[in-house]
Structure 1
Amino acid sequence: MRANNIHFLVVITALVFTGLLVSFILADAHIVSDLSELNDMLLILANSHHSRFMDQVMLHVGNFYFWVPFYCFLLLMALAYDKIRFMRILPFVIIYLSVQSIFLFTFNNFFKHLRPLYQQYLGLQLHISSAGKGAAYGCLPAASAAVGIALFFSLYFNQRYRLLKLILFSWAALILYSRVYNGLNYPDEIFFGALMGLTLSYMSFMAYKHYLNRYYAN
């Protein structure tokens, strides 16, 4: 069996077991209650460590346009690594982002709920940062795509640019943390959003590898 097929089976198996585990947890009311309390506690903890300076930092961290120079730098590094491979991988990056957007749109429409800052039992305990309260309803954050981008390009760069890989995952973690700091998402939403991003990103990269092996093996 080829390595790509093995990787794909590992991902599918992991998803199945994750689904079973989540179903088991949700079936137990006591576990759900404990997890909900832990969720609120972690949210309040992250949100409570605020200051005017950090509010401004997290406001910019969560702004897509603030990172445009970083995105350009990442694209230039990918081009410098291998121009031909970059042109071949670019469609798969677009596919990943498109599929991620579709999944997020679906989840956020079917499972949307009041965000933390709009919850009566939490609203008075949370600090409203410079980012404001945001939309009243939501679920998984669009920012979860960042961790998928970090994984995708880390796999693409293979054994090179180790410092850049560290920067990529630190960047993704900072963006996701800003969502909790600003009280826009619960920690569990960040976790499941990141898990979705990692899974879809890995599967997209495996599709890219399969494409290379099939059409450019020689």
Structure 2
Amino acid sequence: MLDWLLNLDRELLLLLNGQQNYFWDYLMRLISEKEMWYVFYIVLASCIVNIFGWKKGGIILLSLIFVVVVSDQIASGIFKPIFKRFRPSRDPEFSHLVNLVQGYTGGKYGFVSSHAANAFGLAVLVSLIVKDRLTTYFLVFWAVIISYSRIYLGVHYPGDIIGGALIGIVMAYLGYFLLKRYFQTSLIKKPVEETYPIARIYQISLIGTLQFVMMAFSVYFCFNR
């Protein structure tokens, strides 16, 4: 059974990693870089503070940091050293079949993906707190595209992504539980009850979408100068 799952994971990796061109190479490389999302994180933090105020917003931001940091440590500090599963880009028996981008190979071990754990942890916790459909759709899309970029770059198997996503989701629900139980932070009202704070939340989706578009156009113009 385990061998069947591992073979399926490799086949899926080759399917999702095999369709490449210069445009997507550069775009996925940008999406995969954590530094590219600093503006998005700043907008997200400012929206939360604007909606909840400094005290409650600060508690929520601390809970987000807690979920991301713990998810990252579980993925990188516990799972990877224990399972010691080579990344596809590092597997001596498999790496020659993987399409790599700009020679990027990542670290030695890949199970589970810390990118997926961090992205899904943040996306799910914010979605649970905000309770806004548009923001939830965007954040899930954001987490999925970041996770897919790791497969595209050949540094993670789909199984690494699924495992990381599950860790992030579990930690998000734990963070949400602790937030409600110990801090009793009131959640914002739904759009039909209070529209102005929701309008601020839409900034998350808007700024994030614009950042995607800007990255895509920067790559496009790079190849069409």
Calculate the TM-score normalised by the size of structure 1. 0.78
Give CA-to-partner distance per residue, 1:20-73, whole Å, 9 cap, x none.
Answer: xxxxxxxxxxx2122111101110011101111000011001101111111111
Residue 126 of structure 2 aligns with an amino acid whose one-letter code is F
Tell me what 2:87 maps to: 115
Unaligned runs of 5+ residues in structure 1 are: 1-30
Structure 2 unpaired stretches of 5+:
187-225
Who is 1:125 aligned against?
97
Q: Does 1:168 align with 2:139?
A: yes
Aligned position for 1:77? 47
Q: 1:136 aligns with which of 108, 117, 135?
A: 108
Contact residue 180 and residue 186 of structure 1 kept, 8 A: yes
- Where in structure 2 are the equivalents of 1:195-210 lying within 5 Å? 195-210=166-181
Deviation for aligned residue 1:130: 2.7
In structure 1, C-alpha distance between the alignment counterparts of 2:69 and 2:90, rounded to whole Å: 29
Letter of the 1:56 partner, please give it. Y
Give the secondary-structure state (helix, strand or coil) at the position aligned to 1:74. helix
Distance in 1 (CA, whole Å) between partners of 2:156 and 2:87 is: 6
Work out the CA distance in 1 between the residues paired with 2:95 and 2:73.
30
Paired with 1:164 and 1:131, the residues of 2 have a C-alpha distance of: 35
Pair 1:200–1:111, CA change in 2 (3 A): same
Q: Which residue of 2 aligns with 1:147?
A: 120
Query: Secondary structure at 1:118's aligned position in 2?
Result: coil
| Cα deviation code 1:183-210 (max 9, x no counterpart) | 1011111101100110011111110000
- 2:8 maps to 38
**2:68 aligns to what?**
97
Q: Is the 8 A contact 2:60 2:179 kept in 1?
A: yes
Query: Using the alignment, how far apart are the partners of 1:114 and 1:178 within structure 2?
Result: 18
Q: Is contact 1:131-1:182 (8 Å) kept?
A: no
State whether residues 55 and 131 of structure 1, in contact with CA within 8 Å, keep that contact through their aligned partners in structure 2: no
Structure 1 stretches of 4+ moved >3 Å: none
CA drift at 1:128: 1.1
1:188 matched to 2:179: no
The amino acid across from 1:122 in the alignment is F
Q: Which amino acid aligns with 2:171?
A: L
TM-score (norm 2): 0.76
Q: Which amino acid aligns with 2:27?
A: V
Task: Give the CA deviation at 1:163.
Answer: 1.8
Identity %: 28
Root-mean-square deviation over aligned CA pairs: 1.8
> Tell me, what secondary structure is at the counterpart of 1:116?
coil
